[in-house]
Amino acid sequence: MMLHRDRWFLQVAPHRLFQVLNPSKVHRMPRSLPSLNFAFMGGGNMASAMIPGLKDRGLSADQIMIVDPFAEARSRMQEKHGVRVFESTRALRAHAQTPLDAAIWAVKPNTFPLAAVQANEAGVFHRSTLHMSVMAGTSTDSLSRQMGSGLVVRAMPNQAAAIGQAITGMYAPSTVSAEDRALAEEVMKTLGPVEWVEHEAQMHAVTAISGSGPAYMFQMLKAMREQGERLGLDPDQALRLAVQTMAGSAELARNSALSMDELIAQVRSPNGTTHAALETMDARGVFEGFKAGIQAAHHRSSELASPSPTAVAGSGPKMSHGPAL
């Protein structure tokens, strides 16, 4: 097939381009987590949540490096975790062993393009550096383009990362080897279990289910607290009852061989209290509304990944800070 050179470049997705231009695999020593020479780009909540798990997996504090231009973030990370901090990728280049085996991108998506340019200029990466991103809504094509590399893995954790109880959706293009996928998985497991998706578009569904999911659960707990109070309970006591009910039910659902319908049937006796509750909720459209909400999150995630003029105009000030969960 003959293609005009420029068009050929335009038609090939960035990670494919690296594969086509460099079909022979990138050769390097096998990498394992405890011997990994890597740095976090961004010393915020995500980096802080991952560090204890990395230490549990055999990394020492001085093996963990963080780049963050903000002095307050650097001292917080140093005090809390005893890790090595750098004000810029240039400083990292000057003081640490570079190029890096791996980088974990944990900055807000809107600061990523600048941070990527700075890191590339500082020369902290090699063509075999594995780039792992937890940035919401930043596609692997975009990561590949900015990093000039097809070795990119995308991950979407959730708010429960703060206590190591997140679930993380992961995607890697075919340019990433099985060995690097396993390494990225080991890194992300510091936040809780992981689920790989086959197609990148499915990351929007991951965002809609588990990325935004904690807020759905909190909303439900809030409703139970409020209604418990109306029914005569102390609101904090109502919340404790609701929280443990949610935690216990989740654990039961996780461990039971029964389907959700079968579990519901166990507690929903005919004309009983649960039956009355579920009938009323159904009649009020609670479950359909809930599903419509998940659909709206999916739609918004797709919009934010490829902003049209309408999407940007409709997003208000949040767009200036990049996609928000």
Ligand X SMILES: NC(=O)c1ccc[n+]([C@@H]2O[C@H](COP(=O)([O-])OP(=O)(O)OC[C@H]3O[C@@H](n4cnc5c(N)ncnc54)[C@H](OP(=O)(O)O)[C@@H]3O)[C@@H](O)[C@H]2O)c1
Nearer to ligand X, 75 or 244 (CB): 75
Nearest approach in angstroms of CB 7 to ligand X is 33
Nearest approach in angstroms of CB 110 to ligand X is 9
HSE-up of residue 322 (Cα within 13 Å, Cβ side): 13
| C-alpha–C-alpha distance, residues 295 and 311, integer Å | 16
Nearer to ligand X, 17 or 153 (CB): 153
Nearer to ligand X, 12 or 96 (CB): 96
Nearer to ligand X, 161 or 239 (CB): 161
| C-alpha–C-alpha distance, residues 42 and 88, integer Å | 10
Nearer to ligand X, 157 or 173 (CB): 157
Query: Can you list the alpha helix ranges (DSSP code H) found in the chain?
Result: 5-11, 14-21, 45-56, 71-81, 89-95, 112-122, 140-147, 178-188, 202-206, 213-230, 235-255, 260-267, 273-283, 286-305, 309-314
Nearer to ligand X, 36 or 206 (CB): 206
Nearer to ligand X, 116 or 176 (CB): 116
Nearest approach in angstroms of CB 153 to ligand X is 14
176 close to 38: Cβ distance less than 8 angstroms: no
Nearest approach in angstroms of CB 88 to ligand X is 7
Please, what's the b/e burial string for 158-181 (b: 16 or more CB within 10 A of its CB; e: otherwise)? bbbbeeeebbbbbbbbebbeeebb
Nearest approach in angstroms of CB 217 to ligand X is 14
Nearest approach in angstroms of CB 225 to ligand X is 23
- Please identify the residue of the shown chain whose CB is closest to the bound ligand X: 44
What lies within 8 Å, CB to CB, of 164 at 6+ separation is 49, 52, 53, 190, 191, 192
Nearest approach in angstroms of CB 35 to ligand X is 24
**Using alpha carbons only, how large is the chain's radius of gyration in Å?**
23
**What are the residues binding ligand X (CB under 6 A)?**
41-46, 67-70, 73, 106-109, 111, 114-115, 134-136, 156-159, 161, 325
Give yes or no for a cis peptide into 99 (omega within 30° of 0). yes
**Coil, helix or strand at residue 47:** helix
DSSP 174: T
